[in-house]
Copies of this chain bind each other. A is one copy, B any other.
Amino acid sequence: MMGKPESDAGTGDAPSAKLIIAAGETNPDLYYRTRFLTPDPYVFIEIGGRTTILVNDLEVDRAKKQARVDEILPTRSWEEALSKSGRPASTVNIVSSFLEERHISSVSVPFDFPVGYADGLSANGIRPVPLSGLFFPDRALKTREEARWIREVQVGVEEALWVVARILAESEVRDGFIYSGGIPFTSERAKSILKREMLERNLLAQHTIVAGGEQACDPHMEGSGPLPAHLPIVCDIFPKHEESRYFADMTRTLFKGPVSAAHKALYHAVLEAQEKAIALARPGIESKELHHAVVRSFEEAGHHTGLKNGRMEGFFHGTGHGVGLEIHEAPRVGRTGEILKPGHVITVEPGLYYPGQGGVRIEDMLYITETGAENLTTFPKDWGTVAIP
């Protein structure tokens, strides 16, 4: 799964208190710091390293069991006090009351903190200061335990892809298409098998890509219809674990039946570029060096990148991205980047896309260690594995 566009810088210098108002379910920063999942928003405040959450009655019991915070307070007491004083018992008023009690007049908030809450706090005399970059910088640096959770997801991804590879091995080629059990083997069928296999392992996969031939020239196209023989089939799989909430991300490009020399060369150009980038991955290097290595490798091999007939061809996405509680997170691995550190988990996923020929992408996930990088991906990428007779 290719990386995000460039991010924006926030503003201001940071107050020491931190505030998040969000659902544990949808806010990875909040979940990272509290390990407490909720479908609905709750309030998180950190003051001098001490963490407090304000939750409604419905969540108090579960919060006591699950939330890794120093203090759990029910919103009810403030609701009652506000109602008595004739002010609305809104989230903003509850948070403002709490912060006033603790003598806090400005708070750091995430870049994506809702502007509606921010305006409400300002009106109550509390200054919200959006932080640029990571709200909890440690989130980008995975512990060994977090790396194990990611690897656990990756094992499921690989087991699922083996099931599809085995079906391709047992299928046959007719009129340029792949047939399994006498009927065309489709993208939809392949994705359904991948998803079912992953679900058995508690992995939730959305937007899995199985795109063959021309479809793969658009790197985000998920693929549909009968899968072509002889042409590259891009399989990009990036589920999250329902319990740990961590993602993994892998792409393999498979072929069924005899393959032309040109397609074989395209595959090897991508593999060679990827291996050059992977060889550079270690703490202390700027991640953009990996991207530059890929770009250089494609240029040297004569693979053109740019507009052709109004459409981009060649290599026109970033080389990779961080993976963790989000499928795309820090650090970026592209034209811009940052210095790799022990604990970073990044993908390395160069690709080449040529309308008329098809697309190839190969993606591994690396864990940056004190001394180098561990490849968390073990699915082979040699020609003998991916070119299925």
Residues of A within 8 A of B (CB): 1-2, 4-11, 25-26, 37-41, 56-59, 61-62, 75, 88-92, 109-120, 123, 128, 130, 132, 192, 195-196, 199-200, 204, 206-207, 218-221, 242, 311-312, 316-317, 327-328
Given A5-B41, A5-B56, do A115 and B111 touch, yes or no (CB 8 Å)? Answer: yes
Q: Smallest CB–CB gap between A267 and chain B, Å? A: 21
Q: Smallest CB–CB gap between A323 and chain B, Å? A: 13
A220 x B59 contact (CB < 8 A): yes
Residues of B within 8 A of A111 (CB): 114-117
A206 x B204 contact (CB < 8 A): yes
Residues of B within 8 A of A219 (CB): 58
For the complex of A and B, list the 5 residue pairs with the smallest distance between their C-beta atoms, beginning with the closest: A111-B116, A112-B114, A115-B118, A116-B130, A8-B90
A90 x B9 contact (CB < 8 A): yes
- Within 8 Å by CB of A92, from B8, B58, B118, B123, lies B8
A39 x B1 contact (CB < 8 A): yes
Most B Cβ at <10 Å: residue of A9, A10, A40: A40
B204 x A119 contact (CB < 8 A): no
B218 x A62 contact (CB < 8 A): yes
Q: Smallest CB–CB gap between A379 and chain B, Å? A: 22
26 sampled A-B residue pairs with Cβ under 8 A = A1-B39, A4-B41, A6-B91, A7-B90, A8-B90, A8-B91, A8-B116, A9-B88, A10-B116, A11-B116, A38-B220, A58-B317, A59-B220, A62-B220, A62-B221, A110-B116, A111-B115, A112-B114, A113-B116, A114-B115, A114-B130, A116-B130, A116-B132, A118-B118, A196-B199, A204-B204
B40 x A5 contact (CB < 8 A): yes
How far is B327's CA from A196's CA once the two chains are assembled, in angstroms? 23
Most B Cβ at <10 Å: residue of A39, A92, A132: A39
Q: Smallest CB–CB gap between A86 and chain B, Å? A: 15
Look across to chain B and name the residue whose beta carbon is closest to the beta carbon of A42: B5
B123 x A116 contact (CB < 8 A): no
Residues of B within 8 A of A130 (CB): 114-116, 119
How far is B2's CA from A59's CA once the two chains are assembled, in angstroms? 11
